[in-house]
Amino acid sequence: MEALLNPAIPDETYVTLLEQPVSVLYTAPNPTERNRAQELLTKLQDLPNAWMRVDKVLDFPSSSVNAKFFALQTSKTSLFGTVGKRYRVRPVKASAIMS
Protein backbone atom coordinates (compact mmCIF):
# COMPACT_ATOMS: atom_id res chain seq x y z
CA MET A 1 0.00 0.00 0.00
CA GLU A 2 2.90 2.38 0.64
CA ALA A 3 3.61 2.37 -3.12
CA LEU A 4 0.73 4.85 -3.43
CA LEU A 5 2.94 7.53 -1.90
CA ASN A 6 5.33 7.32 -4.86
CA PRO A 7 4.42 10.17 -7.24
CA ALA A 8 6.16 8.39 -10.13
CA ILE A 9 3.75 5.46 -10.39
CA PRO A 10 1.48 5.52 -13.44
CA ASP A 11 -2.07 6.77 -12.97
CA GLU A 12 -3.65 3.41 -13.78
CA THR A 13 -1.48 1.67 -11.20
CA TYR A 14 -2.32 4.37 -8.66
CA VAL A 15 -6.06 3.92 -9.17
CA THR A 16 -5.77 0.13 -8.94
CA LEU A 17 -3.67 0.29 -5.76
CA LEU A 18 -5.98 2.86 -4.18
CA GLU A 19 -8.81 0.34 -4.02
CA GLN A 20 -7.09 -1.72 -1.32
CA PRO A 21 -6.72 0.86 1.46
CA VAL A 22 -10.11 2.36 0.64
CA SER A 23 -11.71 -1.08 0.87
CA VAL A 24 -9.89 -1.82 4.14
CA LEU A 25 -11.04 1.49 5.59
CA TYR A 26 -14.70 0.77 4.92
CA THR A 27 -14.90 -3.02 5.35
CA ALA A 28 -12.13 -4.39 7.58
CA PRO A 29 -13.39 -5.68 10.91
CA ASN A 30 -9.98 -5.12 12.53
CA PRO A 31 -9.60 -1.56 13.92
CA THR A 32 -5.81 -1.70 13.60
CA GLU A 33 -6.08 -2.37 9.87
CA ARG A 34 -8.62 0.41 9.46
CA ASN A 35 -6.36 2.85 11.32
CA ARG A 36 -3.38 1.96 9.11
CA ALA A 37 -5.49 2.48 6.00
CA GLN A 38 -6.75 5.81 7.34
CA GLU A 39 -3.18 6.97 8.05
CA LEU A 40 -2.08 6.09 4.52
CA LEU A 41 -5.06 7.78 2.91
CA THR A 42 -4.48 10.90 5.00
CA LYS A 43 -0.84 10.97 3.87
CA LEU A 44 -2.06 10.70 0.28
CA GLN A 45 -4.41 13.63 0.72
CA ASP A 46 -1.62 15.71 2.24
CA LEU A 47 0.67 15.31 -0.77
CA PRO A 48 1.07 18.64 -2.61
CA ASN A 49 -0.06 17.17 -5.94
CA ALA A 50 -2.80 14.89 -4.60
CA TRP A 51 -5.46 16.85 -6.49
CA MET A 52 -3.82 15.91 -9.80
CA ARG A 53 -4.97 12.29 -9.46
CA VAL A 54 -8.62 13.02 -8.62
CA ASP A 55 -9.87 13.01 -12.21
CA LYS A 56 -8.05 9.71 -12.90
CA VAL A 57 -9.91 8.00 -10.06
CA LEU A 58 -13.25 9.51 -11.07
CA ASP A 59 -12.84 8.55 -14.74
CA PHE A 60 -11.43 5.04 -14.22
CA PRO A 61 -14.22 2.60 -15.14
CA SER A 62 -13.58 0.09 -12.35
CA SER A 63 -13.18 2.61 -9.51
CA SER A 64 -15.45 1.81 -6.61
CA VAL A 65 -17.89 4.33 -5.22
CA ASN A 66 -15.77 4.56 -2.08
CA ALA A 67 -12.63 5.31 -4.11
CA LYS A 68 -14.49 8.04 -5.99
CA PHE A 69 -15.75 9.48 -2.72
CA PHE A 70 -12.17 9.51 -1.41
CA ALA A 71 -11.03 11.29 -4.59
CA LEU A 72 -13.69 13.97 -4.14
CA GLN A 73 -12.65 14.46 -0.51
CA THR A 74 -9.06 14.77 -1.73
CA SER A 75 -10.01 17.51 -4.17
CA LYS A 76 -11.71 19.45 -1.37
CA THR A 77 -8.76 18.93 0.99
CA SER A 78 -6.29 20.03 -1.67
CA LEU A 79 -8.34 23.01 -2.78
CA PHE A 80 -8.65 24.51 0.67
CA GLY A 81 -5.36 23.12 1.97
CA THR A 82 -2.35 23.00 -0.30
CA VAL A 83 -3.66 25.10 -3.18
CA GLY A 84 -5.42 27.56 -0.88
CA LYS A 85 -2.25 28.22 1.11
CA ARG A 86 -0.11 28.64 -1.97
CA TYR A 87 -2.41 31.19 -3.57
CA ARG A 88 -3.72 32.59 -0.29
CA VAL A 89 -7.28 31.58 -1.06
CA ARG A 90 -9.70 31.63 1.82
CA PRO A 91 -13.08 29.92 1.88
CA VAL A 92 -15.94 32.36 1.53
CA LYS A 93 -18.38 32.43 4.44
CA ALA A 94 -21.97 31.61 3.55
CA SER A 95 -23.11 34.83 5.24
CA ALA A 96 -20.94 36.87 2.86
CA ILE A 97 -22.60 35.22 -0.14
CA MET A 98 -26.12 35.84 1.17
CA SER A 99 -25.69 39.56 1.75
Q: Give the tens place of pLDDT for each residue, 13-72.
A: 999 999 999 999 999 999 999 999 999 999 998 888 888 899 999 999 999 999 999 999
**99 pLDDT above the threshold of 80:** no
| Structural domain harbouring 13 | 2-98
Closest among 28, 59, 55, 89 to 40, alpha carbons compared: 28
Residue 97's pLDDT band (cuts 50, 70, 90): low
Give me the pLDDT at residue 13, please. Answer: 94
Total number of domains constituting the chain: 1
Q: How many residues appear in the chain? A: 99
Phi, psi of 8 (to 5 degrees): -85, -10
Angle between helices 11-27 and 65-78 (to 10 degrees): 110
